[in-house]
Structure 1
Amino acid sequence: MTLPLVNIRVLDFGQYVAGPATAAILADQGAEVIRIEPPGGPRWKSPAMDTLNRRKKSIVLDLKTEKDLAIARDLIATSDVLIENFRPGVMSKLGLGPQDAHTLNPRLVYISLPGFSAEDEERSHIQAWEGIIAAASGQFTDMGLNRILMGINTSFSPITLASGYAAMLGATAASLALYSRETCGHGDTIEVPIAAALMEGLVYNSMYIEDCPGRYFSLREHEIDRRKKVGEPLDMGYDELQEFMDPFYRSYFCKDGRPVYVVATCHVNHCHKTLKAMGLYEKVREMGLPDLDDWYMPSSRWPQGLDCALGLYPLTKPWADKISKLMAEKFLEKTAYEWEALFGEKNVPVSAHRYTKEWLNSEHALASGLVHEFMDPVVGKRRQAGPVAWLNSSAKLASTGAPAPAPDAHREEILTDLAMRKTSSMASPAQYTPFTKGHNWLKGVKILDMTNVIAGPTVANTLGRFGAEVIKIYPIKPTFDPWNTVLIGLQVHRGKRSILIDIKSDKGREAFNKMVKWADVVTYNGPHRQLEPLGIDLENLNKINPQTILFHLDCWGGPKTGPRSDYVGYDDLVQAATGIMSRFGGSMKTPEEHAHLGTIDVLTGFSGAFAVATALYQRKTTGKTDVARTSLAACGQLLQAPFTYDYESRAPFDEPSGRHIKGEGPLYRCYEALDGWFFMGMHTPDANAHHALEAIDGLTGISKLSYEALETFLMEKFKTREKAHWITALNAMDVGAVELKALSQLREKYSSHEETGPHGSGSTFQFTRYDNHPSGHRIDIIAPCSIRPQYSTLTVPPPAEKYGKETREILTDMGYSKGEIDDMINSKVVSESWGEQYLPD
C-alpha cells in the first residue's frame, strides 16, 4: 500500500527533542523530511538525536547568510509542512516567520513549538529548556503522593514529558491541517506551546473536584490527610510506603530479587483473575473479603458492615495489609519473568520491572518492531526506540530502523531537486486559495468511541475540539469502577454524547451496526485478539460501512507481532517494563511509579489522535480506509527519548535518577533561594560557560571555580537572596530561570469561568471553572488550548454529562421510534444510567 504521507515534504528546523521528534513522527508515515542543520550540526550533541533524525535528509544552512536564506525560502516555497521550536519571533527576525512563509507558500502548514506562548508576556522571552518548562508548569513540585509522604517537596525528573507531549500534538496538528487543506485549499499557522502541551498531559494531576467523596481517595491520600491533621511529620521511608499501596496496584519482589508491578484493580475481573492465577482466590474468599454487585451504588446504601469490595479501588487498610502479605509471600515462589509469562497468558495485567537497557534488548521489544535494530555506519549494531504511531499501510516502514544522516549529506540531492521544482511546478502565490477563517479541521467527521480508561478516550476527546462529533459507547453494566470511568471521564468525556448498550444482544448489535454506518472512525482499545470476535476488525466494519476507519490501541503492540502483543496492560506496567520506574525510584530495589497520573496514557491518546488524523488524510487523498495504531509501550519510549538507544560503545546508562536528585549538573537544576525554589537552566557543553555569571550581583568569584566546584558554591550563594533577584538577573543574561510553581498555584491563578477562545490564544496556562457542573460538584479543569491554529477554529467541548444521558437522543438519530426505544430500555438492551448519582458518594 502507498504510505499515508507520501509526497508530503516537511522542513525540520527544530533542535533538541520537541521539533525533531515531531518531524520524525511524520517521517515514519512516509513524509519526506529535510532537516535544516546549522553550521556545526545539531545543537544537542547527544546520540539520541540520531534516533530523532531517522529517515531524514540533511542540509546545512547558515541562516545568517543571504545565500542560505534564499535556499531556505525556496525550500519553504516548495514544502508542505514547516516545524520549528524556537522562542517566539526568532524565525520572523530571519524573515522566515509564519507571515513570510505564507507569502511564499499559502499552502504551507507552519508548526511552531515555543516553550511558552507568544502571548505570554511573563515567560515568552525566557530561554525555555525542558527543565525550565517543567519547573514553570509544576512538574518538579507536584511529584506525586509518594514524594509527599516521604517529605520530598522538590525533585527532578530527566524524562522529557513536555517535549514528548508537544511533539505528539505538533504532529497531530500537522496531519489535521493537511487534511483540512484538501478542502479549504490553504495552510495554517499553528502554535503548540510546549508548556501548554505539558499542562494538558498533567490534566489529571491539576484537576480539582470540590467536595470529592472520600471513597475515591487512596490509602496514601488518607495517610497524608491524617498526618497533617495530627501534626505528624511527612517522613515516610520507602519500605513503609509500600504498606500504603493497594495490593492490586503496586510492586512485589520475586524469587530472583527482581520486582514485578501489578495493576489489577478497578476492573470487574482483574483482581479475581490475579488471585486465581496465584492460587490465592479461595483463601481470600475464606478470609471474608466480599464482592459488591453494584459499584455505582452510593456507599451509604452498601450492605451493613461493608466498607470495601474485591476489585473496587481502593481497599481499606486492614484488608490491604492482609492481601498484600499473602501476595508478597506468593511472589517469592517464582522469578519475575516466570510470573510475567504466567500472568500474561491468563490475561492478568502484570509486568516485570526492567532497566531501559534491558527493555531495548528484550525479545518482545525487538520482535514487535517497537525497538529498531540496524547497522549504523558509525557505531555498528544499534538498537533504538521505534515508532509511536503507524497505520497498517505504514507498518513495514515504521518497523524498520534507519541511521541518521550526516550533516549536509543530502545537499546536492536537495538543491538539484529544488532547482527542478522551481522551474517546473512552483506556483505563484496568486494561484493559491485565499486564507479564510472560521472553519473546523474536522467538521463533518463522526467518531464512534468504544474505548475506556484514559488513553483510548483521549483520542476522540482530542479530535472533538476540532469539530468531530463523538458518540461514546459503554456497556449496560460497567466493567470499570467509578474512579476509572466517572472521575477520569470529567476530562476525556467532555463534548461526547454517550449511550449505554449491550452490543452482544441482537437488538443491540443492530443499533451498533447503524452507528457504524454513521461513523467515519471507530476507536477501540484492547488486545488485537479481541477485534474479530467482537466483529470490529476492519474487514467486518467495512462490510457495514466501506468508508469506516478503525483505530486500535493496546498496551504492548508494535508494527509487527511480538510474544507479548496480546497481553493486557496499563500505563504503570509500561513504566515498569521500559525503565521509567527504576529510573524514577533510583534503582531496581526501590522502583517508583512516575509522579503523574496518566503519564503515558495521555501521550498515547495524543498519539492515537495523530494516527486517526493521518488515516483521515489518507482516505481523503486516496479513498482507502486503514487501521490506525498506537500503543502504550510505543509512547512510553518517546517520553524517554534522551535514553532509548544502545550500542556496544555506548556510554553507561547513568542519567540522573532517584528521589533526591535536583537536576543534571550545577548549571541545570533546582536551587533553593532565601524564600523558595527556582530552576536555573544553562544548557551548554562549554565547561567555562559559568564564567559569564561573574557579572551577577552575588556571584562574585564564580569565574575562578572549576566546573566540579560550582554546585556547592551556587547552593550556598543562592540561599542568600530572594528567588526574584536570581531569576531576574539570570534572565537578563539570557540564562533561563523560573520559579518552581505548583499545579494548584497555576490552576488558581489561571482559572476562569470563560471558555478558551476560538483559536486557543492567550496565556500559556488556561483553566476553566465550572461552578454548575453536571456532576453537582465545582470542577476546575485544564482548557483544551495546547494546539492553537490561526485560521481554523476550536470547538470548545461542553462539560461531560452523565453516562447514558443521550441514549434516547442517539437512538432517535439512528432512526428508532419512541416505542422501539422504550422496548429496548425495558428489555435491557440499552440503558440511560448506571446509577442514581453522577459521581456516586
Structure 2
Amino acid sequence: MPGPLAGIRVLDLTSVVSGPLATMFLADQGADVIKIEPLSGDITRRSRQSISASGEFSALFVSTNRGKRSLALDLKRPEAAEIMRKLIISCDVLVQNFRPGTMERLGFGEPALHELNPRLIYVSISGVGESGPYAKKRVYDPIIQALSGFADLQAEPKTRRPQMIRTIVADKTTAIFAAQAVTAGLFARERTGEGQHVRLAMLDTMIAYVWPEAMTQYTVVGREATTADPTARPDLIFETADGYITVGTISDSEWQGFCAAAGRSALAEDPRFNTPGGRAENATERILLMADIMKERPTAQWLERLDANDVPSAPVLRRNDVIANEQVVARELIVELDHPDIGLVRQPKPAARFDRTPAQIQGPAPRIGEHTAAILAEIGLEAAEIERLAAEQIVRLA
C-alpha cells in the first residue's frame, strides 16, 4: 500500500543534515525524492568515516538519504540548468539549504521558479535567516546551539559554563519542522491551487524549541528577575548501586509513589515537597535528596518498586544497549536492510505510523548519480544525449 505522500515529487537540493533529513522523512512517507548532487556528491558522503569500499558512503549519509534517487549535476553549466527547469515543471516541492542568495545567482530563486511552476512549494532552509546582521555567516549546528540559548540551558551546574549537547539537535529539529511545513504547504495548495515560498531558519526553530519550559522566566514581560530559572537544578539522572536510572515525580501521586517505593513515608508529607509548587520551588533540594536515596538499591530493584507504585522511571541505557532493549525490540523500532555497497545496515523505522497509508523505508541511500540516466530519460532525453552529457561532465552516471 502506498504511503501518504505517494504521487508527490520532491526536488532535494540540500546537503549536510537539516535538509536531507527533512526530505528523507518525506521519502519514508512515499514521496519520490530526487536528490540533486554535485558531481563529487553531497559533502556528507565524506564528512565522516567511510563505511563503503567505494568511499561514497558514511553512516551519517546513509541515515539521512535513504529512499531517495540521486541525480548528479553540475548546476553551473547551462545544460544542467535546463535539466533543472524541466524537472521543476513536474515537481511539487523544492527544498534547498544553500546560503542566502546562492539560488538566485544560479537562476533558481523562488520568483523565477514560481513563474515556471506556480504550484511549486519552495522551501528555503537557512542557518539564521535571510535578514539581519548574521545572515551571511556560515552556520553549523554548534553556532545555533550557542545563539539560541541551548548551550546555556546545558550549562555545568556549579560553574555555569555553557555546554553543547552532543548531537546535532538544531539540524535534526529543523528537519522535522521543515517536513511538517512541506505537508502544510501541500495542504494549503489543495485549497488555493497555488504554491508558496516557505522560509525556515535553524535559529528560529531552536528558539521556538527551547521556549516552552526553558524560557519560563522570560515569558511574562516585566517579571524576568522574579521568576526562578528552571535550569538551575541538577538533572534527573540518578546513580543506583549498580548503574543509572531516571525518575519523574511531577504529580502528587508520583511523589507519594516514590516515597512508598523508597520506604520514606514521612517524606510524602514533607511541606517542602507535598505539592507540585513546593517540589518545583525546592527542586534542587528534592533532587539531591532523591539522589542519595537512589544509591541504596540496584537498578532492577528500583525499577520494580517504582513500577509497582506507578512512578515514571526507566534505566539510562548506553547507546550499545538501545538496540537490544526489550521495549525497542517489542516495537520493532530498528530494522535491517541490505545496501548493495555496504551490506546489512540498521535503520530506525519511520516514527509516525499510518494505519491506512503506511510509511516505510523505500530503499537504501543511493550512489552518486545512481538514477541520473533514469531521471533524464523520464524528462525525454535519449540515451545518446545522456552519454554525451556524462562525457562532458555535465552529469554523472553511477
TM-score range (shorter-chain normalised) is 0.7 to 0.9
- State the Cα distance separating 1:352 from its structure 2 match: 1.1
Equivalent residues of 1:107, 1:187 under 8 A apart: yes
Whether 2:117 is the aligned partner of 1:151: answer no
CA 6–345 in structure 1, closer or farther in 2 if over 3 Å, else same: farther
> 1:58–1:408: 8 Å Cα contact kept in structure 2?
yes
The match for 2:393 is: none
Does structure 2 retain, via aligned residues, the 8 Å contact 1:271–1:311? no
The code of the aligned residue for 1:254 comes to: T
Q: Does 2:64 match 1:56?
A: no
Once the two structures are superposed, residues 258-309 of structure 1 have per-residue CA deviations (whole angstroms, 9 ceiling, x without a partner) of 211112x222322233344x3x3xx433x36428xxxxxxxxxxxxxx4441
Paired residue for 1:325? 292
User: Is the counterpart of residue 172 in structure 1 residue 180 in structure 2?
Assistant: yes
The percentage of counterpart residues that share the same residue type is 27
Report the Cα distance in structure 1 between the residues aligned to 2:10 and 2:72, rounded to whole angstroms. 15
Match of 2:108, SS state, is coil
Cα distance change, pair 119–58 in 1 and its aligned pair in 2 (3 A): same
Q: What corresponds to 1:379 in structure 2?
A: 342
Deviations 1:441-465 (A, max 9, x none): xxxxxxxxxxxxxxxxxxxxxxxxx
CA offset digits 1:502-542 (Å, max 9, x no partner): xxxxxxxxxxxxxxxxxxxxxxxxxxxxxxxxxxxxxxxxx
Q: Is the 8 A contact 2:145 2:164 kept in 1?
A: no
Give 2:269's aligned residue: 290
Flag the 1:152–1:288 CA change in 2: closer, same or farther, 3 A: closer
Q: Using the alignment, how far apart are the partners of 2:64 and 2:304 within structure 1?
A: 32
Counterpart residue type for residue 355 of structure 1: R
Match of 1:314?
A: 280
Summarize the Cα distance change of 1:347–1:74 in structure 2 as closer, same or farther, 3 Å threshold.
Answer: farther
2:376 to 415, 427, 438: 415
Give the length in aligned residue pairs.
363
Matches within 5 A, 1:527-676: none
Alignment check: 8 A CA contact 2:27 2:362 kept:
no
Amino acid across the alignment from 1:63: L
Unaligned runs of 5+ in 2: 49-58, 382-398
Q: Residue 43 of structure 1: CA displacement? A: 1.0
Deviation of 1:190 after TM superposition, in Å, equals: 0.7
Are 1:360 and 1:385, in contact at CA under 8 Å, matched by a contact in 2?
no
Letter paired with 2:237: S
Tell me, yes or no, if the aligned pair for 2:24 and 2:67 is still in contact at 8 Å.
Answer: yes
Name which of structure 1's ranges 107-116 and 343-352 shifts more when overlaid on structure 2. Answer: 343-352
Q: C-alpha displacement at 1:193, in angstroms?
A: 1.1
Q: Of 248, 260, 264, which residue of structure 1 is paired with 2:245? A: 260
Match of 2:387 in 1: none
Question: Which structure 2 residues correspond to residues 353-392 of structure 1 after superposition, within 5 A?
Answer: 353-392=316-355
Give the whole-Å Cα distance in 1 for the aligned partners of 2:343 and 2:193: 46
How far apart are the structure 2 equivalents of 1:129 and 1:213?
Answer: 32
Shift of 1:345: 7.1
TM-score, normalization by structure 1: 0.40
Distance (whole Å) between structure 2 residues aligned to residue 414 and residue 361 of structure 1: 40
Mapped pair 1:125 → 2:98: no
Alpha carbons 2:239, 2:294 under 8 Å: kept? no
Q: Partner residue of 1:663?
A: none
Q: How far has the Cα of 1:2 moved from its partner?
A: 4.3
**CA displacement, residues 695-750 of structure 1 (integer Å, 9 cap, x when unaligned):** xxxxxxxxxxxxxxxxxxxxxxxxxxxxxxxxxxxxxxxxxxxxxxxxxxxxxxxx
Aligned to 2:102: 90
Larger Rg: 1
Q: Is the 8 A contact 2:256 2:268 kept in 1?
A: no
Aligned AA (2:250) = C
Distance 1:77 1:253 in 2: 58
Say if 1:185 and 1:324 are closer, same or farther in 2 by CA, change over 3 A. Answer: same
- DSSP 3-state at the match of 2:76: coil
Quickly say closer, same or farther: Cα 1:14–1:357, change in 2 above 3 A.
Answer: farther
CA–CA distance in 2 between the matches of 1:415 and 1:371? 34
Q: How far 1:82 moved relative to its partner?
A: 0.5
Alpha-carbon spacing, 1:412–1:327, altered in 2? closer, same or farther (3 Å): same
- Residue equivalent to 1:269: 253
Shift of 1:371: 2.4
2:93 touches 2:121 (CA, 8 Å); kept in 1? yes
CA contact (8 A) 2:153 2:214 kept: no
Change (3 A) 1:419 1:345: farther
Counterparts in 2 of 1:776-787, with a 5 A limit?
none
Maintained 8 Å contact 1:370/1:385: yes
Cα gap change, 1:63 to 1:206, in 2 (>3 Å) = same
After TM superposition, the structure 1 = structure 2 runs for residues 428-467 of structure 1, keeping only pairs within 5 Å, are: none
Q: Give the secondary structure class of the aligned counterpart of 1:82.
A: strand
Change (3 A) 1:340 1:412: farther
Distance 1:357 1:125, change over 3 A: same
Separation in 1, partners of 2:172, 2:329 = 22
Q: 1:186 to 1:68 in 2, by over 3 A?
A: same
Q: What residue number does 2:392 align with?
A: none
Shift of 1:90: 0.6
Q: Does 2:179 align with 1:195? A: no
Any conservation in 2 of the 1:82–1:109 contact (CA below 8 Å)? Answer: yes
1:67 correspondence with 2:33: no
Q: 2:62 touches 2:364 (CA, 8 Å); kept in 1?
A: yes
What do residues 782-812 of structure 1 show as CA deviations (whole Å, max 9, x unaligned)? xxxxxxxxxxxxxxxxxxxxxxxxxxxxxxx
Task: Specify whether residues 362 and 194 from structure 1 end up closer, same or farther in structure 2 by C-alpha distance, changes over 3 A only.
Answer: same
| 1:251 aligns to 2:237 (yes or no) | yes
> Alignment partner of 1:53: what SS?
coil
In 2, Cα distance between the equivalents of 1:137 and 1:112? Answer: 20
Q: 1:755-807 CA deviation, whole Å, 9 max, x = no partner?
A: xxxxxxxxxxxxxxxxxxxxxxxxxxxxxxxxxxxxxxxxxxxxxxxxxxxxx
TM-score for the superposition, normalised by structure 2: 0.81
